[in-house]
Structure formats: C-alpha cells, structure tokens
C-alpha cells in the first residue's frame, strides 16, 4: 500500500528545504525567494507539497486575498517556477494524483 500526503507548507517548514535537497530545482523554488516575492506581491508565501513513499512534488505559491470578498487566489512567484519532483516524468499515475 502506498503512503501519501499533501500539505501547504510555511517557508519555515523543514519539509520544504528537505524536499529541495532531493529534487533538482532553481532559485525560484527556494523558500527565501518565495517569501521575498510574496512581500512584493502582497500575499502569503507557501508551497504545495505532495508525496507518496519516497516520491515528492513541490510547487511554490503566493496566496493572495481577492479584494472585496473572503476568497483567495494562488499565483506562482515571479520567475514562474513549475512544480518540481523527484518522480520520473513517465510516472503518469503519480503526476495525476499529485495534480
């Protein structure tokens, strides 16, 4: 049986940096960069983190309030980081579950 999890991470969460140690990424995925850009964009820095056993996916996000409502949206930090993962691109089932 596969063990899986999904969570929104704070920039201080050790899981964020631990995931990046296992996944090829660029500076736009680093929590410090996302926090800086969130200050400029007026939002809250976070990352969507999904995993199954030893495979992980991480997607940095900035969550912003939608004016005059109690709704929110989520955008990628400047630099347009895509989700990063240590799962092979051919593992379609993992990517479908993560998305």
Instruction: Please write the tens of the pLDDT for every residue from 67-98.
Output: 999 999 999 999 778 899 999 999 999 999 99
Q: What is the mean pLDDT of residues 5-23?
A: 97
How high is the pLDDT of residue 20? 97
Rounded Cα distance between 98 and 94, Å, is 6
Q: Residue written as tokens 């820095």?
A: 45
Distance of CA 80 to the CA centre of its chain: 12
Pairing of strands 72-75, 84-85: unpaired
Residue 89 DSSP SS3: coil
pLDDT for 34 beyond 90: yes
């Amino acid at each position: 049986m596969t063990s899986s999890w999904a969570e929104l991470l704070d920039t201080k969460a050790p899981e964020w940096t631990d995931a990046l140690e296992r996944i090829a990424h660029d500076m736009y995925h680093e929590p410090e960069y996302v926090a800086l850009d969130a200050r400029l964009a007026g939002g809250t820095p976070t990352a969507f983190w999904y995993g199954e056993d030893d495979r992980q996916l991480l997607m940095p996000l900035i969550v912003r309030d939608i004016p005059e409502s109690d709704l929110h949206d989520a955008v990628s930090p400047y630099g347009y980081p895509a989700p990063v993962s240590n799962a092979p691109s051919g593992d379609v089932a993992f990517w479908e579950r993560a998305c």
